[in-house]
Amino acid sequence: MKGFIEYILQFGNLNQQQIDLISRKATVLELPKDEYFSEAGKIAQRVGFISDGIIRVCYYNNQGEEITKYFIEENNLVVDLESFDNEIPSSAYVQAITDCKLLLFSKKDWNELLDTIIGWDTIVHKIISKALRQKVERRSPLVSEDATTRYLKFLEIYPNVVNRIPLSYIASYLGVTQSSLSRIRKNIS
């Protein structure tokens, strides 16, 4: 909970009463490795804050290949925005790829907080807009680089992820095959 409070206070000020109000709505969710936080086809109903573990967002492309769109590390919000906001079925799976500990907010509670706490909506907007910008900034440059450069960029962006998850997830994030990535890794060292 402490990490979450610190996180939100980076984006704006809240008094102790407001913080308590928010805290009281949070529940703890332990999500074991490989389980889903939300699934394609379903309407996202909750917002999470990862206090421990790594989550990925992935989908299946037209060839049936599983593509990892991005990773989300500790101390970040996780929510399938498009689905959550517009109440439409999601097109992606949000999956724990290590054992995870989350703070959880139901959609009802989340909206209640938005209506109740003055300034909370601004904070949420800032958080979400920063997260979206970050996704663009991280994924976009991969398009124009060769596989080795892409892997190096991955290492820069997610320095704490590489040793905790299977190589195949990284390969699908970078758009290379697992064997190519394995060779790339050999060449680098």
Partner DNA sequence: GAAACCATTTGCCATTTGGCAAAAAGAGAT
Partner DNA sequence: ATCTCTTTTTGCCAAATGGCAAATGGTTTC
The DSSP symbol for 86 reads H
Partner from DNA, a copy of itself, none binding residue 107, C-beta < 5-8 Å depending on class:
none
Touching a copy of itself, residues 105-144 (CB under 8 A): 125, 128-129, 132-133, 135-136, 139-144
CA atoms within 13 A on the CB side of 141: 14
Binding mask 135-174 for DNA (x = CB under 7 A): -----------xxx-----------------xxx------
CB neighbourhood size of 189 (10 A): 4
Given a copy of itself, DNA, none, residue 25, with its beta carbon under 5 to 8 Å by kind, binds none
Q: Is residue 25 within the footprint of DNA (CB under 7 A)?
A: no
Return the number of the residue (122 or 168) whose C-beta is nearest DNA: 168
- Distances in whole angstroms, Cα of residue 93 to Cα of each of 48, 147, 156: 14, 25, 25
Per partner kind, with CB cut-offs from 5 to 8 A, the member of a copy of itself, DNA, none near residue 184 is: DNA
The amino acid at residue 53 is: G
Within 8 A by CB and 6+ apart from 46, the residues are 37, 38, 79, 84, 104, 105, 106, 107, 110
Give residues in contact with a copy of itself (CB under 8 A): 61, 65, 67, 69-70, 81-82, 85, 125, 128-129, 132-133, 135-136, 139-145, 172-175
